[in-house]
Structure formats: structure tokens, C-alpha cells
Chain A
């Protein structure tokens, strides 16, 4: 059943993908009115899928990569709609929609690595799920912040080139993009931190005191470090624009590597 809801959501996310593609031709205002309700409905179905998937996972004590992908796609969409609700901008959708679509597409195909047995966790399966959820919220925040950095760079380049009409003219104001990136980053930080702490506790219980020598744990710690530097430089020195985008790209790359390392240990 979770798969059915996920596939329904995926079909509706197709409208989001269409939005992202057609936005290239500048038909954004009308598209927003048509596509967003469809994508929103997809998020509702996706939520049902995630909940059913967690319930099912708790029963058969399994956790698969596809479930994690599905959760990440859902969280990205949830972040998107939260931002849309606050700032009335659908611009992040240009990047978020295709990414969520690809993740959901991958999640709904059942080929891939076998499910991890969360029963092995000494604290029970709930602990593992909580750890994954915390980390995924942190990842989502990082991705959204990275997308905001890219949009900031584009808008800044437009304004510096004295070209405020045409294709990208409907991007939100620089200050708004900056605020989105910063607030999302702040929001995601405690989740990322607690996710890492819970992961460390799990790893220590499973592998003993030498757990930190594991590459994926080191990569996760590195990602957290870059995340912290990114947050600190923005807070203390007001880093934005290129520098913030480069740092966000580094954190994003570290997160991607940590993700791959976790999928293929």
C-alpha cells in the first residue's frame, strides 16, 4: 500500500517536474496556479506513504534505502511548501521538484540493496528510525540552503549585469533568498547535530569504541563540520553570495559523499 500512495504522489510530482521544465520558458505565474495544487496533493499522498512505510517497517523491522529516499523527497517537498507558505515564492521548485521527483522515482522501484535489519539496533528499531529522520531533515535543510545559494548567485549576477527583465526576473528579492537560505540552515542544524549524535551512539553500540574510524562516520562528521562553519560564517561575518554558495556546495558535496557511503558501506 505505501508503494501505491508513493506512485500516486510520483504521478502528481510529474506536474512539478513539468513546472521546472516549463519555467525555463518563463511561463511561471500561470504554471504556479495550475501545478502547485497538484504537487501539494502529491505531498499529501506521499505523507500517507511515508507513515504507512514507517508502520510497516516497525512491524517487519526493516529499513531500506528506498524508504530513506522517499523520506528525503517528502521532506524536500515539505520544506518547499513551508517556504512557499511564508515567502510566496515557488522559485526553489525549479531545483526541488526535479530532485524530489528523481528520489521518489528511485524510491518506488524495488530493486537495489537489500533492506537493513533495524532489529540489530541495541536500542530497538524506533531509535534507528529517529536517527534517519533527524539526519534527513538536516540533509533537506542543507539541500534547500544550497538551492537558495544558487538562486542568490543568479539573482546577484542579474542585478550586477543590470538585466532585471526576462527569464529570471521573477526570482524573489536577494534579501528574501538570503533569508530563506539562512533560516533553513539554522532550522536544520539541531536536527543534523542530534542525528549525528544518535548515529554515533548507534555506531558505538554496534561497532564498539573504534566506530569513529569508520569512513562513513568520518564523512558524516566532516559534513557536520562544514555545516557548522557555514552557519558560523554567515552568522558572524554575514557571508553571503559567492562565498556562502561555495561553502554550501562543500557541505552539500560532503553530505552527498556521506550519503553514498551510507548506502554502499
Chain B
């Protein structure tokens, strides 16, 4: 089995190049069909996401996948040359494992890529473009991705400000279902954080702004409720999470506000996400039991720490990938000897049958007991003769001398490697 992969990703190519090579969902089946018609290509699949376009193939011999890119996309080879990467055999396997495990993603550890690889695989499989080789590779890639996710904490921490805000809110409140979010002021980042919080289940959203119309606009956009700014202090006690991003030069919330709020809320915790600069929430409030105040620097610091954590986890994941690539290569090598073993067994069986027929023609009709005795004896001889060559083929499959041993056995027994029963149907050369 020869694996060959060619592609571009967010590291190798700028967006305009990736855009030219992107394949829409509607065009994907056509691209796959065209790919598997390429000379030398036996199986193929195409992965096209916003960050990468990759062609993965199993080939009989080296296929010119660059030719496919040129013809299919109509782009000149020179314009792509510096952006394309190409991997073969174990390097292709490693790349597929890394992509599925989200180690090659723009945000390392993001979970979407595995779903995208699974979708691409399903489309190719549905078209009959994936058989044994890619099937084995992809199945292993999904298992490796699962292993990486289970054995490392690569996807457990958030790395964007708004995702960190949600992560913190969940650390305080657990589920955000039925939690009330109060957005004070307007701003892109507050909007994004609110969107994230709603996405995680926060259902009651209140908006206030010095310009009431702006609060109304946002409330309509998010399905929340607008509150006049002068009612802020009367209503803020209803909120579990307060997102502040006003342009106020003095803090809107100070320690004494915090104490009042805690009294009003029977000490139920409150989480203030202060994205404003200068700050809208006095950091002193964080000293109160049950009050959690994070400003923009705190959020960035958590995101930074999470990024470093992910890097550390990615190093652990790379070790898992190394081990899995080796394991997969060994498995492929042991599978490679199967056709030879089948040919060998078939060759001996043909001789055995021929000899039994010869005895029958000489001795005439045999009794069932005699038939059984001859059957058992000849089978025993064949099994004993084949035992050593077969075990040698299996045990040395992953070793460097495997090819030599393979070749010697084929020559001794005058075999080709396409027995009748194998997947590559062909005739035995006997």
C-alpha cells in the first residue's frame, strides 16, 4: 500500500491561494471521482476546509497529484509550487494522524477538524473511492485522535478571550442554563462574549447603554431585554454574569456596590467580565466572597496560559502520534505478507489435490476411511512444511530484511502475490 498526500494549509499558503483551491461541498463528489481516475490512484479522498485543502490517495505506484491540481483547478504549477506540501508513506500517515488529532490546526486542539475529516471520509466512502487501504488508515486516524483527546488535555482549555470568559463562567456556575447575563455598554468583544454565553445556554440577556436605542438594538439582535441605563443599579442584582464595556472614566461598580449586591442576592456568586479600558469594575470587588472580577488583562493572561498548556499537551500528543505511526506501519507490513501466505497455501493445496487425484486414479475407488486417512496425512504434511515459511514471513514482516525473505520465498515456490482468494484478484503463476 502506498499512501500519498498533497495539499495546502493555513501555514503553507495564504488565504487567496487556499480560496482558489477550495472545493465546495457540492463539487466534492466530482473532485473525488476525478481524483480516483488519475493514473496510478486506487483510492482517494478530498478534505477541504477553510484552513486546508488536501488530497489523500492510496496508489499502486507514485501518482502525479500535482498534475491533478493543475488540471482540476486550472492553476499554473509555478504559482502553487512554494505553497504545496506532499507526503508519502509513513509521512503521509503521520500527517493524517496529526490533522485528525488537531495538531495541525490553526488553533491546536480545536475539535471541529475531526468532524470535518470524518465527513470527507464519509463522502469518499459513499462514492466507493475508499476501500481497504484508506479505510484502514482513516479508521486508525480516528482512533488516534480519540486517544490524543483522552490521554492529553489538548482540547480542555480555551484560547480566545470570549471562550475564556465562558470557561470561567462555567467554572463558577457549572451549567449556564437559565443564568442571567447583563451586558453593560456596547462593544464588539462584549457582543462576542455575550454570543458565546448564549451559545452555552444562558437564556436571560439584559442590555443597557447610555444610548437607550443602542441597548434596544442589541436586545432585538440577541432576543434579550433592554434596560434604561439609569436603572442599572436597581436591576444588576438579577444578573449572574455582568459584561461591562462602557467608556466610563470612573468605575461603575465599586466594593460597596458588591457588598450590596451580595446582600440582595443572598450571597449567590456574581461574575463580572470587565472588558472596558479604563476599567468599569473596581478590582477591589474581587476581594469579596462570592464576587469574581476579571478584566481584559486577566482574560488575556488566562488565554495565554491556556495556549502554553496546549503547547505542552501538543508535545505529549506528538509522542503518541510517533508511536501510532510506527504501530500502523508495522500493521501494514504484516498485512503486506498476507497475499504471499495465501499464494503459498494455494500453491501447496493445488499440489496436494493433484497428488490425491493421481492416487485415486491408480488405486480405484477408496473407502471413506481410506479417503479420510489420505486427507489427514496430506494435510498434515502440508501444514508442517508450511509452518516455518509462514511464521518466518509473519515474524519478520516489520524487520528490514522482510523484503528479502519475502522475495526468496516467492522465488523458491515460484509464486506471484495474487492468489485467487485475495482482494487483488489474479491468477497464480504455477
Contact = CB atoms under 8 A, between A and B. Distances in A.
Given A175-B173, A175-B174, A159 B289 contact: no
A160 B292 contact: yes
Question: Chain A: interface residue count, which band?
Answer: 20 to 34
A1 interface: no
B294 A162 contact: yes
B170 A173 contact: yes
Chain A interface mostly:
helix
B302 interface: yes
Interface stretch (B11-19, B121-129, B246-254, B264-272): B264-272
Interface string B275-293: 0000000000011011010
Contact of B289 (A155, A166, A173, A243): A243
Interface size class of B (residues with CB under 8 A): 20 to 34
Given A237-B267, A241-B289, A165 B172 contact: no
A242 interface: yes
A159 B151 contact: no
A164 B170 contact: no
B286 A165 contact: no
B2 interface: no
B173 A173 contact: yes
B168 A240 contact: no
B167 A164 contact: yes
B305 interface: yes
B2 to A, nearest CB: 36
Nearest to B173: A175
B306 A165 contact: yes
Contacts of A242: 289
A155 B309 contact: no
B348 to A, nearest CB: 47
A115 interface: no
Given A162-B302, A240-B290, 5 more contacts: A159-B172, A164-B302, A239-B267, A241-B267, A242-B289
A56 interface: no
B203 interface: no
B172 A164 contact: no
Nearest to A178: B269
Interface of B: 150-151, 153, 157, 167-168, 170-174, 265-269, 286-287, 289-290, 292, 294, 298, 301-302, 305-306, 309
B306 A159 contact: no
A234 to B, nearest CB: 9
Interface of A: 29-30, 155-156, 159-160, 162-166, 172-176, 179, 237-243
16 contacts: A29-B150, A156-B289, A159-B168, A159-B171, A160-B287, A164-B171, A165-B157, A165-B306, A166-B309, A172-B174, A173-B170, A174-B269, A175-B172, A176-B174, A237-B266, A238-B268
B177 to A, nearest CB: 11
B69 to A, nearest CB: 42
B381 to A, nearest CB: 49
Contacts of A164: 167-168, 171, 302
